[in-house]
Structure 1
Amino acid sequence: MEERHKNIKPIYDLVVKKVFCNEAVALQFVQDIFDLSAKSAKLIGGDKIFRANSNVEDDFNIAVDILVELDNHAQVIIEVQLAKQAFFMNRIWAYLCKQVNDNIERLKQNEEERHAIYKKLPPVYVAAIVDRNYFEGDDPISTFLIKEETRNTELKMYVDNDIKEMPLLKIVFLELKKYKPELKESYNKVRWLEFFGNKKYTSEPGEVIDQADDLLNVRNWTKEEKDMYDERTRQLDHQWATYAYAREEGIEYGMQRGMEQGIQQGMQRGMEQGIQQGMQQGMEQGMEQGIQQGMERGKIGTIVNLVKEGIIAKEVGAEKLNITEKEFESYLQEM
């Protein structure tokens, strides 16, 4: 399906931060995805964008992508992932627990009575926008709650003087790769799959989504924002350096496989033509084939990974391999 924006990926971290810095957009997203009747929202975390050469250690940095607070005191963490991570659920749990703990510490400093801390402790929810599938099934939107095992009763909580109960915990996953134009979900939810998935809208998205799309127009960005995006783009050079390394690894792998295959072929032929002559011929042919196959698989695998991570477009990957996009699709499915 044709992309709305050719030169911008809406799911890139710094682009997502810019989108949700618009509090009207953040509020609409939370209302649509979590079915919350909030009237206003404010960004209280995630407005800082780290440069590629910063000293932040990504593996140990638990600063959330986006943190929004609603007028009903509920807080929503919005986390985005391009590549699939084996421990992504653990990271979400760490983000959520840390935020709850931070809220407790903040209330301890402001409240004299202990019971007031629990009275004013807000619920914390998580929205995970992911470019890779994490769950079985075709549903692109998965909502998780805490419920009693046999009666299916949901745990809820009161917030301050609000008489309406709210879910104690709510985590929503948007799996962008599962999007299909014929989805039966409420379009208020589907339009966010189309927005972050860079798909053409199948219906009128609404004024707020139009505002969000305007934020993707680079011509309206500040110089600092453009510099940041350019810096992110320059990281592609590093990715291509990784490709060169993978190519060398492919050669080494091919040589090793070639020797193994050559020995096997040589031994087989040696039984028929003589062990010495067969081993020599088998090793030479096996090494040549192995080197060639290793180089080619290394090149293909690297470019496929770059496309899957959203670093380059599919058509660019196909061009690099000098094949059609349809042929490239088969590699995306295989690897």
Structure 2
Amino acid sequence: MEERHKNIKPIYDLVVKKVFCNEAVALQFVQDIFDLSAKSAKLIGSDKIFRANSNVGDDFNIAVDILVELDNHAQVIIEVQLAKQAFFMNRIWAYLCKQVNDNIERLKQNEKERLAIYKKLPPVYVAAIVDKNYFDGDDPISTFLIKEETRNTELKMYVDNDIKEMPLLKIVFLELKKYKLELKESYNKVRWLEFFGNKQYTSEPGEVIDQADDLLNVRNWTKEEKDMYDERTRQLDHHWATYAYAREEGIEYGMQQGRAEGRAEGIEYGMERGREEERGKYIKTMIRLVNNNILTKDIACEELGITEEEFEAYL
């Protein structure tokens, strides 16, 4: 299927941040994905979306961290991942717990009564938009709740004096690679897979999605935004090119060693030695990418299949 936009990737972190700066878009996304009846939404910490004279090494290496607060008190963290990470679930849990703790500390400063802290503590949800698959099965949208093990009863909470209960926890994954034309989900959800997956819309997406698409028009961006996006693209291209080169170089070296050592035992020895050389060069490449702030340490460990302690030993 032809891409909607040739020169822009909607899933890149800077683009996602720009899209959700539009609070109407953020509200529609939360309503569709979480089935929440909120009437308004505001982006928290919007001054951090595009910072002047930002440090590329700091801003471009971390996952998107967008916090949307709804008028029904709920808060939604939106995270985006391009590369698959073994510890991504741990990171989501850490972000979620930190936000809950931050809310408690804020309420402690503003509320005199301890009961008021629990009474006004908002639920925190997470939306994870991922470019790699994390779960088995063909469903592109996976929703996780806290439920009783045998009765399947969902755990809910009250917020302030709101009569309606709200889910205590809700985490939704959008796995973009699982998108296909014959999806059975509501189109209100499917259109976000098409939007972030850069697919052609299979139905009328609606006015708010049209607004989001307009934000992807580079001609309307500021020079700073264009420069930041170009730098982000160069870094990602360099990362994947280095990764591919390291693998190809190591494989070729191993095959040459195998041929040089002769048949049977010589071939096995050469291939084994080649694999060792390949891994050594690959480890050096990962170390260089981490030291140059192009790759995070946890991604490097996942690619190498080792722990952070083992990776530290190579440094």
In structure 2, the CA distance between the partners of 1:64 and 1:15, relative to structure 1 (3 Å rule), is: closer
Q: Is the 8 A contact 1:64 1:95 kept in 2?
A: no
| Aligned 8 A contact 2:130 2:174 in 1 | yes
Within 5 Å, give how 1:247-326 maps onto structure 2: 250-251=248-249, 253-265=251-263
Confirm or deny that 1:53 pairs with 2:56: yes
Which residue in 2 is equivalent to 1:227?
227
State the alpha-carbon separation in 1 of the partners of residues 115 and 23 from structure 2.
Answer: 32
Q: Tell me how far 1:236 sits from its aligned partner.
A: 5.0
Answer with 252-261 or 162-171: which moved more.
252-261
Aligned-partner SS, 1:159: coil
Quote the offset at 1:181 in angstroms: 1.2
Q: The residue matched to 1:265 in structure 2 has which SS?
A: coil
CA distance in 1, matches of 2:110, 2:249: 63
Does residue 17 (structure 1) correspond to residue 17 (structure 2)? The answer is: yes
Deviations 1:180-238 (A, max 9, x none): 11111100000000000000000000000000000000011112111211222332563
Cα distance between partner residues in 1 of 2:186 and 2:237: 41
Structure 2 counterpart of 1:276: none
Quick one: distance in 2 between partners of 1:253 and 1:210?
A: 47
The two structures have a TM-score, normalised by structure 2, of 0.79
SS at 2:142's partner residue?
strand
Q: Superposition RMSD on alpha carbons, in Å? A: 2.7
- Other-structure match for 2:200: 200
Query: Which residue does the alignment assign to 2:143?
Result: 143
Would you say the 8 A contact 2:104–2:121 is kept in 1? yes
Give the match for residue 179 of structure 2: 179
Q: Residues of 2 paired with 1:127 and 1:57: CA distance? A: 20
Give unmatched runs, 5+ long, in structure 2.
Answer: 283-315
Equivalent residue number for residue 92 of structure 1: 92
1:245 Cα deviation from its structure 2 partner: 5.6
Change (3 A) 1:4 1:237: closer
Partners of 1:45 and 1:77 lie apart in 2 by 12
Structure with bigger RCO (C-alpha 8 Å, 6+ apart): 2
Q: Which has the larger radius of gyration?
A: 1
Q: What CA distance in whole angstroms lies between the structure 1 residues aligned with 2:28 and 2:80?
A: 17
Tell me the number of residue pairs that the alignment of Structure 1 and Structure 2 aligns.
271
- The CA distance in 1 between the partners of 2:34 and 2:236, in whole Å, is 35
Does the C-alpha gap of structure 1 residues 122 and 251 become closer, same or farther in structure 2, counting only changes over 3 Å?
Answer: closer
Is 1:23–1:41's contact at 8 Å kept on the other side of the alignment?
Answer: yes
In 1, the alpha carbon distance for the partners of 2:251 and 2:178 equals 35
Cα 1:235/1:203, change in 2 over 3 Å: same
Looking at structure 2, the residues matched to 56 and 12 of structure 1 have their Cα atoms a distance apart, in angstroms, of: 12
Please state how far the C-alpha of 1:266 moved relative to its aligned partner: 7.5
Q: Is the 2:65–2:79 contact (alpha carbons within 8 Å) kept by the matching residues of 1?
A: yes
| TM-score, scaled to structure 1 | 0.74
Q: Gaps (5+ residues) in structure 1?
A: 268-278, 299-335
Tell me how far 1:260 sits from its aligned partner: 3.8
State the distance in 2 between where 1:4 and 1:135 align: 27
Secondary structure of the equivalent of 1:68?
strand
Whether 1:159 and 2:162 are equivalent positions in the alignment is no
Judging changes above 3 Å, is the alpha-carbon distance between structure 1 residues 56 and 201 closer, same or farther for their aligned structure 2 residues? closer
Indicate the percent of aligned positions where both proteins have the same amino acid.
83
Shift of the alpha carbon at 1:56? 6.0
Q: Deviation at 1:3?
A: 0.4
CA separation of 1:145 and 1:133: change in aligned 2, threshold 3 A: same
